[in-house]
Amino acid sequence: MNLADLLFVSADRYPDQVAVSDARTGHALTYEALARETEHVAAFLRAQGVEREQRIAIICPNGVPYLPAAFGLLAAGACLVPIATNLPPAEVADILRDVDVNGCLASPDVEGRRGGGAVLTGGSCDAFRFEWTDRAAQAPSGFHALGPAFIRFTSGTTARSKGVVLSHDATRARVEAADRRLALTSEDRILWVLPLAYHFAVTIVAYVKAGAHVVMCGDTLPHPVVEAIRQFDASVFYASPFHFERLGNLAGGGPLKSLRLALSTSAPITAPVMRRFEERYEVPVAQAYGIIEAGLPCINLGTEGLAPTSVGCPVPGYDVAIFSDDGVRLAEGATGEVGVRGAGLFSGYYAPWQRLEEVTRDGWFLTGDLGRMDARGALHLEGRKKTVIFVAGVKFFPEEVEACINRFGGIVESRVSGVPHPRLGQVPRAEIVVAPEGCDLEALGAHCARALASYKVPIDFTVVPAIPRTPGGKILRR
């Protein structure tokens, strides 16, 4: 099957329903129009000679045109390689080379286009340009047999990202698994603030499959986001902890009565951030465990009596377990590496080429995340295996220290890192973003000393204007 078929089915069922709109301009496409424009893009690409499973990049900012462009590439049989528009040219060049990209479809507002190739005319994708980058480049042996739909790059929190290959079948399995918990319908209106280059494969496809209305909110500052939720009576707000934190700190507030689901993803969200949002808007914060290699294997809707800071129980179609460093499955409450298995797992890594069976252990994909399972079967994330800080042989997670810092008055957000020490191995240091009213750094140190073991207390606090984040909203780790 082809994922574009899900759009065409929705177009038959809900032809006059709005599929996607722009909150600022009002530009909108019904499902019938989106299907028509998708077929127009696909016909254009076929006319340029695009063949099945060729790797075709899309470079386009968030907006209505992204959907017909992306679904058009899929309908043409191409393997979609989404590239974020805010990447530096050197990183874009790395992706084009590492994935042997054959061609590129770019919107007219993308800087640095070479100016050659063919221009698409008509519809929302008017003036999009298609260029061959390396038409003859060949994929590794076995790639075509996977039925590849996407090669999506990880958001690179700690190291150079690598291309994750997702098949059409695995992506559909992810969509169906997530929807068993999210229960999306054609009555839903989703306010969209995340970068489409990193959050298309499961969520947008799921919304389209359900016949829902996706509202693109181009202005992601907290006040315009809240106003857009009210204006469009949004029923679903799907965002990162960063967005929830900013909305929770916004002055004013008042109930967001239209929201039935406020779902946080891409990174663990802290209890104080959840509490501030819920108190201000009277909407509980749900959260999902989102990883590109597995989709959304766990979801906590906040309605099942689970610990609110857990990412929930595995959704139907997935198994989740905790493993020790030597591969032993651990019991309830023990901390170890999170393993996931299920039909929605990725198909392999493109660069360097590794099939799924080469990177799994007895069918389990080890995520690099550290966590534990509680008595209810819910997963609690504790940090990334690679970001654990070791002080004199004792390990702890930067997220624990950041949560302590963020509870102190005057702190907007923080990042804790381990830095080398000649005797202790590492010591923690903190970067902090301070609120306009300021913060007493000496009192902050005393607060941490009271709440944390001595080896976890940062040796200093550096005030910075902002904490670096990946395009997907995760803290960029050193």
Output the six-digit token pair for 328.
Answer: 């032993």
**pLDDT exceeds 60 at position 162:** yes
321 — phi, psi (to 5°)?
A: -145, 165
* CATH code of the domain in which 397 resides: 3.30.300.30
**pLDDT exceeds 80 at position 78:** yes
Q: How many domains does the chain have?
A: 2
Structural domain contains residue 252: no
Cβ neighbours, 10 Å, residue 394: 12
Which residue's entry shows tokens 């696909």? 42
The CA dihedral of 320, 321, 323, 327, to the nearest 10 degrees, is: -80
In this predicted model, which residue has the larger pLDDT, 50 or 424? 50
324-332 contacts at long range (C-beta below 8 A, 24 or more positions apart): 327/361, 330/372, 332/372, 332/373, 332/374, 332/375
Output the six-digit token pair for 20.
Answer: 């996607």
What is the mean predicted confidence (pLDDT) over 449-471?
A: 89
Least reliable range by pLDDT among 355-359, 413-417, 421-425: 421-425
Provide the pLDDT for residue 86. 76
CB 265 within 8 A of CB 240: yes
The mean predicted confidence, pLDDT, of the chain is 91
Q: Could you say which DSSP state residue 144 is in?
A: G
Provide the pLDDT for residue 227. 95
Which residue's entry shows tokens 């997907």? 472
Provide the pLDDT for residue 455. 84
Boundary of a domain, candidates 141, 169, 197: 169
Provide the pLDDT for residue 294. 94
pLDDT band at 269 (very low <50, low <70, confident <90, very high): confident
Structural domain contains residue 319: no
pLDDT tens-digit map of 273-305: 899 999 999 999 999 998 889 999 999 998 888
288 — phi, psi (to 5°)?
A: -130, 150
In this predicted model, which residue has the larger pLDDT, 92 or 185? 185
What is the mean predicted confidence (pLDDT) over 188-203?
A: 91
**pLDDT exceeds 60 at position 350:** yes
pLDDT band at 158 (very low <50, low <70, confident <90, very high): very low
The CA angle 419-423-428, to the nearest 5 degrees, is 25
How many CA atoms within 13 Å lie on the side-chain side of 113? Answer: 25
Output the six-digit token pair for 405.
Answer: 């810092």
Cα of first residue to Cα of last residue in the chain, in angstroms, is 41
Which residue's entry shows tokens 């994708």? 125
> Exposed, middle or buried, 199 (CB in 10 Å: 0-12/13-18/19+)?
buried
Boundary of a domain, candidates 144, 169, 194: 169
* CATH code of the domain in which 100 resides: 3.40.50.980
In this predicted model, which residue has the larger pLDDT, 164 or 455? 164
What is the distance between the alpha carbons of residues 53 and 141, in angstroms, rounded to a whole number? 12
What is the distance between the alpha carbons of residues 316 and 346, in angstroms, rounded to a whole number? 17
Provide the pLDDT for residue 157. 41
Structural domain contains residue 419: yes
Structural domain contains residue 336: no
Provide the domain limits for residue 437.
388-463
Structural domain contains residue 149: yes
**pLDDT exceeds 90 at position 161:** no
Output the six-digit token pair for 323.
Answer: 């493993």
pLDDT tens-digit map of 19-34: 999 999 999 999 999 9
What is the distance between the alpha carbons of residues 321 and 152, in angstroms, rounded to a whole number? 25
Q: Could you say which DSSP state residue 183 is in?
A: -
Structural domain contains residue 205: no
Least reliable range by pLDDT among 42-46, 218-222, 438-442: 218-222
Boundary of a domain, candidates 136, 169, 202: 169
Least reliable range by pLDDT among 262-266, 436-440, 470-474: 470-474
DSSP string, 361-405: ETTEEEEEEEEEE-TTS-EEEEEEGGG-EEETTEEE-HHHHHHHH
Q: Could you say which DSSP state residue 294 is in?
A: T
Least reliable range by pLDDT among 102-116, 187-201, 335-349: 102-116
Give every CB contact of residue 80 below 8 A, 6+ residues apart in sequence.
56, 58, 70, 73, 74, 149, 150, 151
Structural domain contains residue 181: no
Output the pTM of the full model. Answer: 0.83
**Helix (H) / strand (E) containing 300:** strand 295-300
Q: Could you say which DSSP state residue 145 is in?
A: G
Structural domain contains residue 300: no
Provide the pLDDT for residue 94. 80
